[in-house]
Amino acid sequence: MHGLGDVRFFDRVARLYDWVMPAADQQSLAAALSRADGDIDRLLDFGGGTGRATIAVDAAERTVVDISRPMLRRAQARTASGPGRPADPSGPLATVQGDAGRLAVGDNTIDAAIVVDAFHHMPAQAAVVSEAQRVLRPGGVFVVREFDPSHPLGWLLARGEHSIGMNSTFHTPAELAELLADAGFEVEILDAGFEYTVVGTNR
């Protein structure tokens, strides 16, 4: 099964996604975003899905980019209040349907891009890294939160995803750091364990 298979999976589980997923790690994301030079006004969340991680970060303009329309519909629903449901207190989110490896975004226009629990689902990972490099302004940051396949829980997760037909590609922190460094980012590995954070600053 190809990357599209991963996306069809998210199309199907979109309605349940926020019920089963814990909140995103706000502290780790804030620590990574603090590596940017200057303020973060414009932020893109690549593979941002329902906006679970987007609402955990602070930026004047936050845009969820995702290839799955049903996941994006959940992100849009967060910002709209409805009967018995207040809008998300973290403020509005914009949404764009598209492939993170081919963005309709201008060069040097973004202060930060994040990818949380999604990079391993993206079939064209090198294209995603190079798009991040293209759209980020100098001093902007690319933050990737991923699962380490050399950690026992990461190994289990990778086995589990492959057993249900996903084509996910996981990297150790050192491997992911190398991918970003090869694209020209100045790279730091911020935390380690089952889930880890790599941040690349655009120089």
Using CB under 6 A, list all residues that contact ligand SAM: 6-7, 10, 21, 24, 47-49, 52-53, 65-68, 71, 99-101, 116-118, 121-122
Rounded to the nearest angstrom, the gap between the alpha carbon of residue 130 and the centroid of all alpha carbons in its chain is 15
- Rounded Cα–Cα distance for residues 24 and 44 (Å): 16
**CB of 186 vs ligand SAM, minimal distance in Å:** 24
Which residue number, 26 or 38, has a Cβ lying nearer to ligand SAM? Answer: 26
**CB of 121 vs ligand SAM, minimal distance in Å:** 4
**Kind of pairing between the strands at 94-97 and 110-116:** unpaired
Side chain identity, residue 155: W
Which tokens is 10 given? 């998210």
**CB of 49 vs ligand SAM, minimal distance in Å:** 3
> CB-based burial of residue 61 (10 Å sphere; 0-12 exposed, 13-18 middle, 19+ buried)?
middle
Which residue number, 101 or 154, has a Cβ lying nearer to ligand SAM? Answer: 101
Residue 113 parent element (H or E): strand 110-116
Which residue number, 39 or 159, has a Cβ lying nearer to ligand SAM? Answer: 159
**CB of 83 vs ligand SAM, minimal distance in Å:** 25
Which residue number, 73 or 137, has a Cβ lying nearer to ligand SAM? Answer: 73
Side chain identity, residue 163: S
